[in-house]
Amino acid sequence: MAVSAATRAFVLELFDGLGRLSARAMMGGLTLYRDGQVFAIVAGGERIYLKAAGPLAEALAAEGAEQFAYTRRDGVTARMGYWSLPDAAVDDPEAACDWARRALAAGAG
């Protein structure tokens, strides 16, 4: 199921403080970029996930974030390097952008 137009608009507004963003449809979800760099996806029931590994993934997990996972055709659960945006940041553009900046900085390294 594709991400709704309302969710796409909400997510782009939530991360507006990051500057120039773009979004592309992908496999029923949405990939978010700043200046060509992927920093988040929208998937799994239109939930926002930030690209994260190592210390950033640990910090997100400590805030209650969940790792993106899906069940493959063979029944095996696969996990990807994306963690849900903490609930406290979903309706707080400043907090959401802070987390996204951390994801962008970690991806640049």
The one-letter code for the residue type at 101 is: R
Point out the residues of the chain with pLDDT beneath 50.
none
The pLDDT value recorded for residue 45 is 76
CA atoms within 13 A on the CB side of 20: 3
Predicted confidence at residue 3, as pLDDT, reads: 85
The boundaries of the domain holding residue 94 are 5-108
Domain tally, the chain: 1
AA identity, residue 4:
S
Query: Residue 51: in which H helix or E strand, if any?
Result: strand 47-51
CATH number, position 73: 3.30.1460.30
Q: Looking at the chain, which runs of residues are DSSP E strands? A: 21-26, 29-34, 37-43, 47-51, 67-71, 77-84
User: To the nearest whole percent, how much of the chain has pLDDT over 70?
Assistant: 97
Give this prediction's pTM.
0.92
